[in-house]
Amino acid sequence: MAKNKIQFQKGYSITDLFKEYGTEKQCEDALFKWRWPDKFCCSKCGSDSYCSLKTRRLYQCNHCHHQTSLTAGTIFEKTKLPLTAWFLGIHLLTQSKTGLSALELKRQLGVSYNTAWLMKHKVMQVMKERDDSKPLKGIIQLDDAYWGGERHGGKRGRGSADKTPFVAAVEVSEDGRPLKMNMTVVHGFRKTAISEWASHHLSDGSLVVSDGLACFSAVKEAGCAHQSIVTGGGVACITLTEFTWVNTMIGNIKNAITGTYHSINHQHLPRYLAEFCYRFNRRFQLEDMLPRFIYVALKTPPMPGKMVSMAEPYG
Ligand SMILES: [Zn+2]
C-alpha cells in the first residue's frame, strides 16, 4: 500500500543529522561541495586556485584576490546564524509531515522568534521557487479554492471578498493515484489568470480535468487538452471518483495550515501552500531531503526585503 511505503521508508533521523552535519566545519564542507561540485571557481576571474580565510565562510582567489563568501548570493546570504542551526532547521522543516510553526522552530533551535520566522519563510521560499520550476504533466485534476473568510459569517462560495483565491492542481496516474500537486494564489478565476498560471505550472500536452467553471478552458491556451466534468449532468466521460483527489488535497492543506499556524497573513499564503506541496511532492524521498534542499537553496537568490515584511504573531 502506498501509505505504508511512505510511513515505513528509511528516512533520515536527527542522529544521522548530528553525525553528518553536527559541526560548523562539516556544514561548511558540505556547502562548499554542493556549491562547487567539481572545483572552486572564482566568480570574478574563473580561477580554481583559492585559499580559505580565517574569517568564517570566506574564500580568496589566489589569482585576482577576489573574496567569495560561501553563502553570498544564496538564500543564506548575510545570515548570522551558525550553519548547524540552519541544517537542523531545514531538517525539521522538510521532515515534518504537517508543517512546523515559527514558534515551534524558535523553541527547537533556541533562537529568537524573528530569527525563526525569517528562517521558515526563507525555507518556504526555496520550496516555492523549486516547485515553480517543475511544471505538472500528464493528467491533471484542477479546481478552484479559497483561503479564509469562513469564520466571519460572510458570503460563502466563489467570489467572496475576504477570501484569497488559489488554484489547486493534482497530477494523477492513469489509475487515478495522486502523484504531485501545485497550489498557487491567483488574482481571480478569470481566463487570463488561468492561462497565465497554466503556462507556468503545466507542461503542454497535459490533459486537464476540471469542473464546469468557465475559466478553466483557458488551459488550452497553454497547450493542454481540457475536459470538464459537468456535475449532475449525464455527459461526463470521466467519473467523479477520479476527480476526488484535488478536493481531498484542498481539505488536507486547509487542515494542516489551520492546525499548525492558527492564523496566517494572506500575503504569505503562496509560501504556505508551496511548503505543503513541496513536502507532498517529495514524500517518497525523505532520506535525501536535506542535501537536495540545500543544493537548491544555494542556487536560490536572497529574498528581497519586501517579501520578508514584519513577522506574524503566530506564523
Ligand atoms: Zn579570481
So what's the pLDDT on residue 307? 62
pLDDT in tens, 100-122: 999 999 999 999 999 999 999 99
Distance 64 CA to ligand 1 centre (A): 4
Q: What nine digits make up the cell of 32? A: 562548499
pLDDT in tens, 133-144: 999 999 999 999
The whole-angstrom separation of Cα 38 and Cα 94 is: 27
Distance 226 CA to ligand 1 centre (A): 53
So what's the pLDDT on residue 210? 92
Distance 73 CA to ligand 1 centre (A): 17
Contact present, 236 and 230 (Cβ < 8 Å): yes
Question: Using 50, 70 and 90 to split pLDDT, how confident is the model at 155?
Answer: very low
Contact present, 117 and 311 (Cβ < 8 Å): yes
Distance 222 CA to ligand 1 centre (A): 44
The whole-angstrom separation of Cα 12 and Cα 255 is: 26
Distance 80 CA to ligand 1 centre (A): 26
Q: Flag whether pLDDT at 202 surpasses 90.
A: yes
Distance 37 CA to ligand 1 centre (A): 18
Mean pLDDT of the residues in the chain: 87
Nearest to 126 by CA among 266, 287, 299: 299
DSSP conformation letters of 45-69: T----EEE-SSTTEEEETTT--EEE
CA distances for 262 relative to 129, 208, 274, angstroms? 25, 33, 17
Distance 67 CA to ligand 1 centre (A): 8
Q: What nine digits make up the cell of 51? A: 585559499
- Model pTM score: 0.88
CA distances for 69 relative to 157, 222, 290, angstroms? 51, 41, 21
pLDDT in tens, 208-229: 999 888 999 999 999 999 998 8
The whole-angstrom separation of Cα 233 and Cα 220 is: 23
Q: Flag whether pLDDT at 9 surpasses 50.
A: yes
CA distances for 142 relative to 186, 213, 263, angstroms? 13, 10, 26
Distance 70 CA to ligand 1 centre (A): 15
DSSP conformation letters of 160-225: -TT-EEEEEEEEE-TTS-EEEEEEEE-S-SSHHHHHHHHHHHB-TT-EEEE-S-GGGGGGGGGT-E
Choice among 152-161, 214-223, 245-254 with the minimum mean pLDDT: 152-161
Distance 60 CA to ligand 1 centre (A): 8
Q: What nine digits make up the cell of 277? A: 506541496
Q: Flag whether pLDDT at 27 surpasses 90.
A: yes
The whole-angstrom separation of Cα 230 and Cα 210 is: 9
Q: Which residues pair with 226 in a beta bridge?
A: 208
Distance 300 CA to ligand 1 centre (A): 23
